[in-house]
């Protein structure tokens, strides 16, 4: 679990996060998803829907020491290259899911 001290480097459970809570599944991911949904709802009247097509947006977040996510930007043309060892499996999975 990267958020619990693995690859993410977080050594201690942030204050206010109850013990036994899965930091990713129960804490951070729901907050990220809520922010994405709110942003899409806020912009839904500003986008043109084209039948049989889709749009892919890239969301950039920063997470503070209390595991509170902050939306930095939304990219309408996100970079889909395998630029790092971290992004390669994410981009690969996104592309596979998009084709399905």
Task: Give the pLDDT confidence of 4-33 residue by residue, as tens digits.
Answer: 444 455 557 777 778 888 888 988 999 999
Q: State the DSSP H helix or E strand holding residue 41, giving kind and residue range, or none if neither.
A: helix 29-43
The burial of 70, by beta-carbon neighbours within 10 Å (0-12 exposed, 13-18 middle, 19 or more buried), is given as exposed
Q: How confident is the model at residue 54 (pLDDT cuts 50, 70, 90)?
A: confident
Cβ–Cβ under 8 Å, residues 32 and 69: yes
| Higher-confidence position of 8 and 70 | 70
Number of domains into which the chain is organized:
1
Which residues on neighbouring strands pair with residue 59, listed in sequence order? Answer: 74
Domain around 57? 2-99
Closest to 88 in 3D by CA, of 79, 77, 98: 79
């Amino acid at each position: 679990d990267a958020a619990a001290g693995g690859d993410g480097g977080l050594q201690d459970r942030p204050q206010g996060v109850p013990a036994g809570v899965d930091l990713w599944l129960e804490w951070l991911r729901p907050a990220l998803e809520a922010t994405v949904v709110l942003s899409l709802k806020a912009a839904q009247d500003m986008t043109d829907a084209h039948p049989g097509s889709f749009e892919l947006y890239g969301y950039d977040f920063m997470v503070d020491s209390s595991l509170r996510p902050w939306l930095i930007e939304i990219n309408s043309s996100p970079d889909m290259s395998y630029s790092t060892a971290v992004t390669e499996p994410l981009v690969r999975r996104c592309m596979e899911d998009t084709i399905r």
